[in-house]
Amino acid sequence: MPETAPQSPVPAHPAATLILLRDGPDGLELLVMERHAGLRFAPGATVFPGGRMEAMDHDPHWRRFWPDGDPSADLAHRVAALRECAEECGVVLSRDPLAPGALDELRRALAAGEGFAEALERAGAVPALDRMAPLARWVTPEMLPRRFDTLFYLAPAPDGQQPVCDGGEAVDTLWASPRRLLAEAGAGRRRLVYATRMTLLRLAGCADVAAAMSLARLGLEFPPPIVPQLVETPSGPVLRIPEGCGFSPLETPAEHVRLG
């Protein structure tokens, strides 16, 4: 009987995520959102705003917003992360404070389906693409049917903007410390996918925005991909990540992992 050829992994869709940071009363806080329970991917999970890249993210138009010299090679990923944050949470990482009413107008334009570049221009918002710094690149394990190759960015949150969820993908937004989010997940009050949980663990030791930004992979536009592997061990199956990736633990029992 002929052997069955191994099935090739599903290609991973390029994606980007923006983790906005601020200093709160109890230290570092992150902007997170709760995904709609009816979504196919990560229903009801608490995640950072982000999503798949779109064709318009690659438009040469965005190069003019880079302040000095040639833009970073990951410019399109930065655009995607900034765009997704604006669409899902109503927060725009802009170079200067927006004029009164401009943010509301921009939100209405995006909700009505207007193009991101057009909405930004009409609101007088200049995207601060250079203020984002890559933290990591997480790739969905090869055995899953839906996969993403996602760059995670850190950036200080813009002043004077309060998040407003879109009511579609995002049904709630929240500023919270990494420790609080992890504690609530541990108590069963919050759902976290694996990459989100690992990112929170990485940031939990940061006292403030400056400490968190110091973890960014400066000079690495495309950090080495972290592709978790399902490995059988004497204690049972675990999800394993490579040494030296900057995240821990390196092994997590598969029964404790939510991938989507």
Torsion-angle region of 69 (φ positive above 0: left; ψ -120 to 50: alpha; else: beta): left
Instruction: Give backbone dihedrals phi and psi of 125, rounded to 5 degrees, phi first.
Output: -95, 125
* Per-residue pLDDT at 5: 42
Is residue 237 within 8 Å of residue 230, measured between CB atoms? yes
pLDDT per residue of the chain (260 residues) written in tens, 0 to 9? 344 444 788 999 999 999 999 999 989 999 999 987 667 777 788 999 999 999 999 999 999 999 988 999 999 999 999 999 999 999 999 999 988 789 999 999 988 889 999 999 999 999 999 999 999 999 999 988 889 999 999 999 999 899 998 777 778 899 999 999 999 999 999 999 999 999 999 999 999 999 999 999 777 788 999 999 999 999 999 999 999 999 999 999 988 888 77
* Per-residue pLDDT at 4: 43
Strand order, beta sheet including 251-253: 229-233, 236-240, 251-253
The residue whose two tokens read 């990482």 is: 93
Two structure tokens written together for 120: 């930004």
Nearest to 18 by CA among 45, 48, 59, 53: 48
* Per-residue pLDDT at 3: 43
Instruction: Give backbone dihedrals phi and psi of 223, rounded to 5 degrees, phi first.
Output: -60, 160
Residues 203, 197, 36, 29, Cα dihedral to 10°: -20
